[in-house]
Structure formats: structure tokens, C-alpha cells
Amino acid sequence: MSQQNNNKHWIPLESNPQVLSHYLHKLGVDESVSIVDVLSPELLDLVPRPVYAVILLYPLKEKTAKESKLTVPDQVYFCKQTISNACGTVALVHAVSNNMHRLVCKRDSFFDKFHRSTLHLSPDERATCLEQSAELDALHAEFAQEGQSQAPLENEEIDLHFVTFICQQERLVLLDGRLEQPIVYGSCTEENLLQEATNVIQQEFMAKDPNEVRFNILAVVKNDSVS
């Protein structure tokens, strides 16, 4: 979860769908959107639709993701991660900012203001804006203390990392704030995003470390309980 380009450290977020959903709503996303567990690659039909983004938490043993040889779609919103243990928040930024045309964000909420003010900035400049946001500092700290497990210390070294998969211009794109640019894996549609992302997760992450069990797949979805 860490990134060492900056001395700033946050307490890492727990991979808890309920906590992350509440955090998402506090950041400004309408409650018609929530985050759910993807319990198994064999149980994708149980995940509500539409799926806006897929988030993976995985153990950082080495750089699993490869640099992309495919052209990154122009409209991809990408932000670097320079705050240690901020990968959970960066994953949410990537999930929301690449779906602003489909999601409802409350006017003058954090996401509304951040997206509008950083839309035309570089990935590094967006990272600087994240670092300098006192509002985000406070919100992240609030939700990092929630969850079922005891929160680690700010400067504790964590070997788990969040990344986000999105569909942009019919391409499956992986967004990881540690990398220099997004990774494009191939063709994708909004309808089969979950299936295509899960295929990549199985082949590029799980298959390379078959004895590891600390993988967790989450989906950002429409909440059917909210009209």
C-alpha cells in the first residue's frame, strides 16, 4: 500500500465493502452507488449490475503488472500515488473520476470539486492536489479507523495494495498510482467489465502466486436498494 515519493503517511483503508461504500458516499458519490465483494470468479452473476469499476487488493511482492504496449485511451483519468498507504483512496479516485459521465456526485462535494479542478492536470499534478487536500486528509483518517480489524499505524509497512480496473473506449484499463501510466489489457465493454477484469486478475495476479490467499476483489456497482 505504500509509495515512497513523499514523507506523508496515511493509515491504510480496510478492504471492507461497507466501510468503503460509506467513504465513497462521504466523498460525494450518490448513495445509488455502492461497493460489494466479488466472492468468487465463479459467482460473478451474483454481483449487481451495472459494474462501474473493479478494485483489486493484492499482496505486493513484486511489480505484477507489466508496462502496456497498447495505446492508453485519451479519456482515461490517471492520478499518481505519492502518499504512503493512500492506495485505497487513489483506487476510489480512479473508479469515480473515470465514470463521472455515469455517476451522480453531489455538487461541491470532494469528488465534484476535485474532478473539476484536476481534469486538465497531469497525473503528478493531481497527486499534489491530493497531498494538499485537508478535506481528504480528514475523511481518509476517519474511515481508516473503521472496519473489523484494528487499524495499523501510519508508518507501519503494509504489503497489500489496491488497484482499479475500468472500461474506457472499449479497452480494459488497469490504474495503479505506483506506475508511470495506466496499463491496457485489451478489448472490453461496460457490460463485460467484471468478467474481463476477473480474467486478468486470475491470469496476471492469482496464477503467479497460487499459494497466496490475500486477494480480494471488489466491484463498484449500482445499489438496487436505492431508487
- Number of Cα atoms under 13 Å in the Cβ half of residue 155: 1
Q: Is 115 a catalytic residue?
A: no
Cell of 190: 461496460
Tell me if 106 sits within 8 A of 28, measured CB to CB: yes
Please give the CATH superfamily to which domain 17-222 belongs: Peptidase C12, ubiquitin carboxyl-terminal hydrolase (3.40.532.10)
- CA-closest candidate to residue 118, choices 141, 142, 136, 144: 136
Q: What pLDDT score does 185 carry? A: 94
Looking up cell 478535506 gives 135
Catalytic residue among 87, 105, 167, 188: 87
Confidence grade of residue 79 (pLDDT, cut at 50, 70, 90): very high
Tell me if 35 sits within 8 A of 17, measured CB to CB: yes
Looking up cell 497460487 gives 210
Q: Is 25 a catalytic residue?
A: no
3-state SS assignment for residue 12? coil
pLDDT in tens, 89-137: 999 999 999 999 999 999 999 999 999 999 999 999 999 999 999 999 9
Cell of 119: 481534469
- CA-closest candidate to residue 167, choices 31, 73, 47: 73
How do the domains of the chain map onto residue ranges? Answer: 17-222
State the DSSP code for 43.
G
Catalytic residue among 105, 161, 167, 188: 161
pLDDT in tens, 1-60: 544 456 799 999 999 999 999 999 999 999 999 999 999 988 999 999 999 999 999 998
CA torsion through residues 134, 120, 181, 89, sign:
positive
